[in-house]
Amino acid sequence: MSPSNSTCGNGSMPPADNGFFDSTSVLSSEKSIEELIQQPPVQGIDDHLIEFSEALRTVAKALRRVTEGKASAQAEAAEWKRKYELAREHNMQLEKKVLSLGDQSRELIVERARNLEGHIAILDENNDQCELCSGKDDICAHQVLDDGEPDSDSSAASNKMMRKASFKLSWYCKGEKSDRHKHDVVSFEKGNITTAERSSKQISLKWESPPHTVLILTKPNSVSVRILCFEMVRWLKEQNNLNIFVEPRVKSELLTESSYYNFVQTWLDDKDVLTLHTKVDLIVTLGGDGTVLWAASMFKGPVPPIVPFSLGSLGFMTPFHSEHYREYLSSILRGPLSITLRHRLQCHIIRDEAKSEYENEGPMIVLNEVTIDRGISSFLTNLECYCDNSFVTCVQGDGLILSTTSGSTAYSLAAGGSMVHPQVPGILFTPICPHSLSFRPLILPEHVTLRVVVPFNSRSHAWVSFDGKDRKQLAPGDALVCSMAPWPVPTACQIDSTSDFLRSIHEGLHWNLRKTQSSDGPRDP
């Protein structure tokens, strides 16, 4: 029997269905190679055969390592599974215990148990879904809203047991509402590249458990807003039995009006605001676009869905008319509702003088835009801009706006930038009064990181502001770094995100309004 025949006959290893070599065939191949190299050398064998048997020895070793590796991976998976089962058991016991406890301890423990649940869902490699989420292609509230600080003992807020309502988001095109979201994929079948799905779909939010807690945010110093707020709080409590949070200023206004509003909850300090997203199911804003910006700025991480009522002048992001608030809110609390997921930008200021990373400032998160301008300086700005470390340009003029697509209808529009549908993921790069004839605005893809540096040879400082607020100075050598934030702002639509966007540019800006030309006149023959 020739060695080469024996190797071909017993030692070939067909891959298993999953494309990997299965461990039984690996073991039998290794055995046959071992048998082969144990055989006494044949008289007169040449050097090639010795080399060949050395090579087989090496292959045998490699195969053993593969088998051992697989066994250790299996052991690790089993260990994760065991940890998962233990943690889940512990979690269930905790939930049972809280039922027999006093209100305050109960709230604390429920928060902890839910946090644990969130972590388990991430750790469990075998079940990559939260138990409460039924489909892989939807986004469930548990996956994004359960990461708050659990031990906020300074909360003046709730003395009731509160659980956040869970919801699910799904994507659909017009006319196919029942379709589940399919991931954006590019298909390479048969060598042809086709985009299987487009990303800008209408998004529908469906409550999986009913919302219990509403946060109402109001524009200050407005009589009409105050009156509506009083009325809405009463209606939400009496007709819907909801928990209601307001800002401390509004709570004092309500109590000045009547002690009836004692049930309304608020918070004491900024630390409590950080945990609001773990308690609030829905935010209602009463004001203009500025109030929506204000609401978004309170949530540096995940943001609960916002229902923006229009009590301002322009109202690009506020599609709901306040006169019909009962109908709108009843329908939204029932669900499903169409939402726009508005992208945000996160920004860091990198100080030249900072000795360590910790001395830098950020992140600041904006819904509209971050602006770098010349402030009160009479000199041209001199801003060096980089996109993913590639030099883009130097802005010499009044400044630069880095805008989200939601902000494309705000300051960026006034500076000559294009209007972009808010659901389009991208970053607008719009100069303010550039002193050049050829500086057209750009729209960059969502995944880039932008860096704007004030060079050392700049004649002046620059100023940065976030959604028009919190101005900060940038000295020569300082930089602003900006990229897409992972937490969008979900705003409820009156119809759907496209209809609402088109309606706001028609009604708010009178976009392309012109008297229609009469048909009475010359025509093509």
Ligand X SMILES: Nc1ncnc2c1ncn2[C@@H]1O[C@H](COP(=O)(O)OP(=O)(O)OP(=O)(O)O)[C@@H](O)[C@H]1O
Ligand Y SMILES: NC(=O)c1ccc[n+]([C@@H]2O[C@H](COP(=O)([O-])OP(=O)(O)OC[C@H]3O[C@@H](n4cnc5c(N)ncnc54)[C@H](O)[C@@H]3O)[C@@H](O)[C@H]2O)c1
- CB-based closest residue to ligand X: 288
Structure-token pair, residue 392: 């883009």
Return the exposure string of 307-335: e unless at least 16 CB atoms fall within 10 Å of the residue's CB, then b. Answer: bbbbbbebbbbbbbebeebeebbeebbeb
Contact 260, 283 (CB under 8 A): no
Instruction: Kindly state the smallest distance separating residue 277's Cβ from ligand X, in Å.
Output: 17
Q: Is 409 among the residues that bind ligand Y (CB under 6 A)?
A: yes
**Contact with ligand Y (CB under 6 A) among 118, 148, 211, 288:** 288
Residue 195, Cβ density class (10 Å: 0-12 exposed, 13-18 middle, ≥19 buried): exposed
The C-alpha atoms of residue 33 and residue 21 are separated, in whole angstroms, by: 16
Binding mask 325-364 for ligand Y (x = CB under 6 A): ----------------------------------------
Whether 270 is catalytic is no
> Should residue 267 be labelled a site residue for ligand X when binding is judged by CB under 6 A?
no
DSSP state of 282: E
Amino acid code (one letter) for 376: I
Among 369, 373, 478, 500, binds ligand Y (CB under 6 A): 369
Q: Does 289 bind ligand X (CB under 6 A)?
A: yes
Quick one: 204 or 218, whose CB is closer to ligand X?
A: 218
Helix (H) or strand (E) holding 504: helix 497-509
Q: Any contact of residue 370 with ligand Y (CB under 6 A)?
A: no
- Site membership for ligand Y, residue 287 (CB under 6 A): no
Which of helix, strand or coil describes residue 265?
Answer: strand
Kindly state the DSSP code that residue 41 receives in the 8-state scheme: P
Among residues 118, 148, 211, 290, which is the contact residue for ligand Y, using CB under 6 A? 290
Dihedral (CA of 472, 473, 477, 482) sign: positive
**Structure token digits, residue 380:** 């041209």
124, 138, 146, 289: the active-site residue: 289
Longest dimension (CA), the chain: 109
> Which partner in ligand Y, ligand X, none is near 287 (CB below 5 to 8 A by kind)?
ligand X
Return the residues of window 189-248 that contact ligand X according to CB under 6 A. 217-220, 247
Contact range with ligand Y by CB under 6 A, out of 96-104, 106-114, 119-127, 402-410: 402-410
Report the residue number, 140 or 410, with the smaller CB distance to ligand Y: 410
Exactly one of 91, 291, 491, 494 binds ligand X (CB under 6 A); which one? 291
Phi, psi of 326 (to 5 degrees): -65, -45
Q: CB under 5 to 8 A by kind: which of ligand X, ligand Y, none does 220 bind?
A: ligand X
Binding region for ligand X (CB under 6 A): 217-220, 247, 287-291, 293-294, 312-315
Catalytic residue ranges: 289
